[in-house]
Amino acid sequence: FWADPEARAASGDLHALVIGINAYAAQGGELQDLQGAVNDALDIASALVETDAASVRVLLDEDAHRDAIFAAWHAMKADARPGDTLLVTFAGHGAQEPERIPGLERDGLDEVMVLGGFRSSAPHNYQRIIDHEWRELVAAASDYQVVLVMDACHSGSLNRSLARGR
């Protein structure tokens, strides 16, 4: 798609945020460490650089904490122009938890992207991003083309249409 100069010009620039987390137990978390998430993120970032993406931000392991991810998203959006494509990829653990807004989820569960330092008790339970938060970020970026690629358990609910307000 971006290899064709005319298609690239029509689609604007590509800006990417690439996240990969292997270190869960290593950061004191309650989940097992993963083996391939960081390698996947590095491969994706390398491919994006080779296609001349306008910007590629990479957050790995302990650098991929909640505040850093949101800061990188907002910085990426600030660097982009309307019509550009914002790409976010996440490779790491996903999970489900009881829904925060009763009645919003058909199954009563929110899906979450679990970050490396997550633990089920405060203050470390902050180290997760809930599906509704991703949808809010995308909805607030309506001037851009947004692509989310999530390689995590329970990430399937992120495919709901925003155009219909679901």
pLDDT of 157 > 60? The answer is no
Mean pLDDT of 72-88: 97
pLDDT of 9 > 70? The answer is no
Whole-structure pTM value = 0.86
What whole-number percentage of the chain has pLDDT above 70? 86
> Which residue's entry shows tokens 């996903």?
94
User: Residues, the chain, total?
Assistant: 166
Q: Name the more confident of 110 and 5.
A: 110
Q: Name the more confident of 2 and 113.
A: 113
